[in-house]
Amino acid sequence: MTLTRDRRFLVGFATVAFFSVLAPDAWRNTIGWYGYGVVAVGLFATSVALLIRRRSEWRADVLPWPLLAFSALCLVSVFWSNYPAATALAWLLQLITTTVGVTAAVLLTGSELIRALGRALRVILALSVAFEL
């Protein structure tokens, strides 16, 4: 069994993704903005690799079409924006977040998503208490 087929790896990936979305300050204050960027790019690259590697397991009818349409609208808005560079950067960040979320939603079951969210919240709570102590 390869790593991309291991359910524990997928739940761990989702846990790190939930942690990164729910507690980004933990990353930024611990390893800095560049380190946080490395984490975000790593999550994005892992998401793309998982989607490509396991493309036979997911179907197009489970994709969140309204979210994908919104992403397309955000991309098109770059052309009429007064700040195209900033808008393009915001679209890129939104694309990264959407890709990670869609990967988790498409490849994990509902109970695995809940388990990953629970683990991420427990880690956040434990780190918060440890920081306060």
Are the beta carbons of 74 and 94 closer than 8 angstroms? Answer: yes
Instruction: Quickly tell me which residue has 């994990």 as its tokens.
Output: 108
Task: Give me 116's structure tokens.
Answer: 């990953």
Per-residue pLDDT of the chain (133 residues; tens, 9 = 90+): 566 568 899 999 999 999 999 999 989 999 999 999 899 999 999 999 998 988 887 776 777 788 889 999 999 999 999 999 999 999 998 999 889 998 998 888 889 999 999 999 999 999 999 988 8
Rounded Cα–Cα distance for residues 38 and 70 (Å)? 26
Whole-number pLDDT of residue 2? 65
Whole-number pLDDT of residue 65? 83
Whole-number pLDDT of residue 55? 81
